[in-house]
Structure 1
Amino acid sequence: MGVATAKEGETVELNVGFSGSAGRSAARSAADSVIREFAFDAITIRASPKAAKGLENNPNVRYVEENGTMFALAQSTPWGVDRVDAEVAHSNGYTGAGADVAIIDTGIDSDHPDLQANLGSGKSFVQCSTKGGCRYGAKPADNTCYQSWDDDNDHGTHCAGIASGDDNSQGVVGVSTENTLHAVKVLDKCGSGSFSDIAAGVEYTADQGWDVGSLSLGGSSGSQTLRDACQYAVNNGVFLVAAAGNSGPCTDCVGYPAAYDTVMAVSSTNSSDGLSNFSSQGPEIEIAAPGTDIYSTVPGGYATFSGTSMACPHVAGAAGQLAAQGYTNTEIRSRLKNTAEDIGLAANESGAGLLDDAAALGLDSSDST
């Protein structure tokens, strides 16, 4: 379980997975307070370490885990849109209109001119705040929290612009230009969020019936609660894609949730079709996308970042275009892999190859009109 040692009288925040009503009752009875209940037979509580130990020994409890933390996998432009032949899709009328893409991240800047036309709804599972410093050294974005799901960091807005920046003759264009973007804010101003917050965001995405969940976040250790949430979302028709992580160079270090088999793991490439030096590698990698020096939206303007976080929304935008054409989540995953371009990288580096948006839509790169 790995519950941290607490001083006498203190409690710890736990995610508890259970089986049936008896397990739920046991978890609730052990709790000093209930923080969140999920639809997939899990609950987040505060309880004493002694109560946690009792739950571990309960045959109706599947797991007990401390509610750990994941972080935004940032940072390092629209050369990537061109490289995956998204402009071919645009010129042939494939805009992604009608599909819903959830950016499960730090939020989205609600008044950015390159995103406003494509913004749908949003929900925040952490507080939006631009005041104060950050424990982990990140600088909060210079932005106003007009909405609870506004971006007080900049990471989520950057990912949103890559996935579906508006084709409005200014700023940047995304892989999709008319996917509806939904801000599911699970990471705070410092770019961190608990397993429970992120699981709740994934669950919420599924409950809204949205097509794509884009997760440019992760950690080196997994969470059974988040694994359950991802399974719940996929069972409910969501295509999930996640950043592989920035732990490279390595040969087997894909982070979570990308490492879950319910999620498409994305590695990062540079403008020379090489693997980005920071990109995590491993057998879980299914596809690669541009992630080095990606120019996109941030609150109040634009910036260039690098990371597998930037590769992930390239795939999310392409998935949204496929969803708009009626493909299911499992069909989207297969089609993206089956049409990927072989750029000579090993399978543990790029999976099936580099994302080819045009090919996934049945177009040839010469089909530009």
Structure 2
Amino acid sequence: MTERTISRRRALRLAAAGSTGLLVGGQVAAQGGSDDNGPPARIVGTASREAEREARDRAEPVKRVLDFERIGKAVAGRFSDRAAEKLRQRDDVRYVETDGTVRAIHHREGHDGGPGGGGDGGGGGDTSQDLTWGIDRTDADVAHANGDTGNGADIAIIDTGIDSDHPDLEANLGAGKAFVKCRGGSCNTNWDDDNDHGTHCAGIAGAVDNSRGVKGVSTEATLHAVKVLDKRGSGSFSDVAAGIEYTADQGWDVGSLSLGASSGSQTVKDACTYAQGKGVLLVAAAGNDGPCSDCVGYPAAYSEVVAVSSTDCSDSLSGFSSTGPEVELAAPGTDIYSTIPGGYDTFSGTSMACPHVSGAGGQLMANGSSNSQTRDTLGSSAESLGLTSNETGAGLLDVASALGHDSSDDGTGNGPNC
């Protein structure tokens, strides 16, 4: 865990001045290839300085170089077919792959301007706070009542960014970074959310308990926006890998990945291995290809990542949820009410289930658990719903039980949608 040495508000100002930088609607296959900008976008995994140098020389141009230390480096850029073939012939080139597309496609159930209907992030009308059904059902509210609020945890929301001035999030925001440009109407920082998806996930993981709007699983954790998806909810494998690498290099506790694709990437896999070795707990949405079997997407399918499926407020598996042997936990994902830029809204998807687990992981790591210990505890404390392990893994997330508190309060909140 990192120690807070500057205020969150100051971190926002510094980030704005100096930083440049799941799928909820269904799995999206990796996409790549040539376009009007030149040769195909590819990533070259290298195992020596000489291979890295040749990859840099052959790129037209280099997009970025990722350094996973002992695992090796990866050069992302545009490479002609001839250049790619030449690089593949080298023994010290580990792989050459397409820099595929990853998307976050959320399903909006119905816009709500927020408590009181003001549409201003809770700033007008009735400023009462909703206890959302996901927070209640996972007993996160019980943890709060016992003093566990995630204070000291650092949670990276690796997504479309976070609304930098939302009243339910602003107090919990720390430094962030953008790997894609913010191009929306309100880009106060480079990592601001110009899509909605990242802000919604951030509110689930760590909205502050300020007696208005909503509250998250870890109400005093520091949230970090790692913007790897643009205003269309689109990014590349190399963008996502860079966000994971950055999260690990900052020494943060949790990386929350409500994104994915139906095919894997060695570069993203290497980034996950690197982050796990640095002590990061990685949590990802299983995907929304349900009903289906053995259809968990990537990066959730990687062994370094906690794959999260989705349930509804009747404790049934959400009809859209992907399932498979990689699923490790389930969490609420249907009709989840949370923050968006300028207000609140209801989304459904494993993208919404994922940050419940990320917030819980932050709670445990704030109390001194390692990433591996946290992963074990989340699994051993989960509540059985009587569903198969391919559907819900170890069971439904139980935040209070994971923290050693009584978890018999299985309510469904006083907010909308349940």
| TM exceeding 0.5 | yes
Aligned to 2:175: 121
Among 261, 276, 288, the residue aligned to 1:234 = 276
Native 8 Å contact 1:203 1:233 kept in 2: yes
Q: Which residue of 2 aligns with 1:342?
A: 384
Alignment of 1:87 with 2:141, yes or no, is yes
1:18 maps onto 2:18 in alignment = no
Q: Which runs of no fewer than 5 residues in structure 1 stay unpaired?
A: 131-142
| Alpha-carbon contact 1:118-1:178 (below 8 Å) kept | yes
Secondary structure of the corresponding residue to residue 266 of structure 1: strand
Which residue, 51, 62, 73 being the options, matches 1:34? 62
Preserved contact between residue 5 and residue 49 of structure 1 (Cα < 8 Å): no
1:37-76 alignment runs, 5 A limit: 37-40=65-68, 41-75=73-107
Match runs of 1:227-266 below 5 Å? 227-266=269-308
Q: Distance in 1 between matches of 2:35 and 2:205?
A: 46
1:135 matched to which residue of 2? none
Q: Does 1:155 align with 2:197?
A: yes
The one of 365, 377, 389 equivalent to 1:323 is 365
8 Å Cα contact 2:31/2:100 also seen in 1: no
Deviates further, 45-54 or 22-31 = 22-31
Q: What is the root-mean-square deviation of aligned Cα atoms in Å?
A: 1.8
1:22 alignment partner, SS class: helix
Structure 2: distance between partners of 1:66 and 1:365: 46
The answer to whether the 8 Å contact 2:317/2:391 transfers is yes
Task: Report whether the alignment pairs 1:104 with 2:146.
Answer: no
> C-alpha displacement at 1:6, in angstroms?
5.0
Report the CA distance between 1:9 and its aligned residue.
11
Q: Tell which deviates more after alignment, 68-77 or 103-112.
A: 68-77
- When residues 247 and 365 of structure 1 are mapped into structure 2, their CA distance, relative to the original with a 3 A threshold, is same
Task: State the percentage of identical aligned residues.
Answer: 64
SS in 2 for 1:183: strand
Distance 1:171 1:21, change over 3 A: same
Taking a change above 3 Å as real, the CA distance of residues 5 and 211 of structure 1, as seen in their structure-2 partners, is closer
Once residues 91 and 7 of structure 1 are traced to their aligned partners in structure 2, the CA distance between those partners, rounded to angstroms, is 54
Q: CA deviation at 1:7?
A: 8.9
Query: C-alpha separation between the residues in 2 aligned to 1:308 and 1:42?
Result: 29
Q: Distance in 1 between matches of 2:338 and 2:378?
A: 23
Whether the 8 Å contact between 1:239 and 1:330 is mirrored in structure 2 is: yes
* Cα distance in 1 for residues equivalent to 2:399 and 2:333: 15
SS at match of 1:217: coil
- Structure-to-structure mapping, 1:131-280, within 5 angstroms: 143-280=185-322
Normalised to the residue count of structure 2, the TM-score between the two structures is 0.82
**Number of aligned positions between the proteins:** 355
- Counterpart of 1:291 (choices 324, 333, 337) is 333
Letter in 2 for 1:107: G
Give the conservation status (yes or no) of the 8 Å contact 2:398–2:407. Answer: no
SS of equivalent residue, structure 1 residue 277: coil
Are residues 263 and 8 of structure 1, via their aligned partners in 2, closer, same or farther at CA, if it must alter by over 3 Å?
closer
CA contact (8 A) 2:32 2:99 kept: no
Whole-angstrom distance in 2 between the partners of 1:91 and 1:257: 34
Give deviations 1:27-77, integer Å, cap 9, x for gaps.
123222211011121111222111011111211111101111001152369
User: In structure 2, do the counterparts of structure 1 residues 366 and 249 end up closer, same or farther at CA, with 3 Å as the change threshold?
Assistant: closer
Matched residues in 1 for 2:35 and 2:106: separation? 35
Contact 2:34–2:41 (Cα < 8 Å) also in 1: no
Contact 1:288 1:353 in 2 (8 A): yes
Listed one character per residue, the Cα deviations across residues 256-309 of structure 1 (whole Å, up to 9, x for unaligned) are 000010000000000010000000000000000000000000000000000000
Which amino acid in structure 2 is aligned with residue 24 of structure 1? E
- CA offset digits 1:178-236 (Å, max 9, x no partner): 11000000000000100001100000000100000000000101111111111111111
**Offset of 1:11 from its aligned partner?**
1.3
Gap change, CA 1:159 and 1:65, over 3 Å in 2: same
